[in-house]
Amino acid sequence: MTEQKKHRTIRSFVKREGRLTPGQQRAIDELWPKYALDDAKTVIDLDKLFNRKAPKVIEIGFGNGASLAEMAKNQPEHDFLGIEVHRPGVGQLLNLIEQEQLSNLRVACTDAVELLKHRITDNSLARLQLYFPDPWHKKRHHKRRIIQPEFVKLLAQKIKPNGHLHMATDWQHYAEQMLEDVSENTDFQNCAEHDYIPRPDYRPLTKFEQRGHKLGHGVWDLLYKRQ
pLDDT in tens, 179-210: 999 999 999 999 999 999 999 999 999 887 88
Domain with 87 in it: what CATH number?
A: 3.40.50.150
- Among 111, 122, 134, 187, which one carries the catalytic annotation? 134
Q: What is the pLDDT, as a whole number, of residue 6?
A: 46
117 domain-assigned: yes
12 domain-assigned: no
Report the distance separating Cα 181 and Cα 196, nearest Å.
Answer: 14
Q: Is 134 assigned a catalytic role?
A: yes
Report the distance separating Cα 140 and Cα 43, nearest Å.
Answer: 36
> Residue 41 is part of which domain span?
22-226
10 domain-assigned: no
Amino acid letter for position 16 = R
14 domain-assigned: no
Q: How many domains does the chain have?
A: 1
pLDDT digits (tens, 9 = 90+) for 62-87: 999 999 999 999 999 999 999 999 99
Mean pLDDT confidence for 132-153: 95
CA angle 38, 42, 43 (to 5 degrees): 105
1 domain-assigned: no
Neighbours of 157 (CB within 10 A): 16
Q: Is the pTM of this model over 0.85?
A: yes
pLDDT at 24 over 80: yes
